[in-house]
Amino acid sequence: MSQKMQILHCIRNTMKQAISSEEPSQRKALLEAADILVNELMLLEDHNFYITRYNKGRQLLMQGLNYISGDSTDIFHDADYIPASVSEEMSRIKISRATTQLTTLLKNIVTLLPTTGNEDITHYLNSVVDWEVGLYQRQMENVSEPDLQVETEAVITQQGFQ
C-alpha cells in the first residue's frame, strides 16, 4: 500500500472516530490529528522540494566520493547507478527510491570519514547533516491554505451530491 493510501486510511479512521465521539475535547483532538495528516499529504505533493533535496544530496555524494579512497569500490560502483538528477517527469516513487539509494551511499561515505582533523571533511559532514535535517524540518512545516472564497454557511448534504 502506498504512503498516500496509508495516510488516507488514517484520515478516514480518524474522522470516523471524531464522528462517533461524544466528548468535544476528544473530537477536537481527532480533528487536529486529521489536519496533521492532510498537511502531510499536501507536503508529499510538493515535488519541487524532493527534486531539490535529491539534487543537493547528489552534489554531496559527488563531493564525498572525493574524500574516500579507491579501496571503497562498492561505493564507487553503486554511485554509478544513482541518477545524475531527478525531474518533475519522474514519479514520486522513483524519486523516493533514488533518494533512498542516495541516502544509503551518503551514510556509507560518512562512516568512512574521520570526524576530526580535516576542516574540509568537517564542513562536508556538517553539510550532510544539514541535508538530512532539512527533511525533518520540512515534515514540521504547515502548508499554507490557499485563499479560497468559500461560503461559510455552506453545508454538504446528500441531496447536494445528487
pLDDT value for 146: 61
Q: Is the pLDDT of residue 162 over 70?
A: no
User: Per the structure block, which three cell numbers stand in for 111?
Assistant: 562512516
Q: Determine the length of the chain.
A: 162
For position 44, what pLDDT does the model report? 76
Residue 143, sorted as left (phi over 0), alpha (psi -120 to 50) or beta, turns out to be beta
Cα angle value 67/96/33 (rounded, 5°): 120
Cβ(86)–Cβ(94) under 8 Å?
A: yes
The pTM assigned to this predicted structure is 0.69
pLDDT in tens, 73-106: 888 888 888 888 888 888 878 888 999 999 999 9
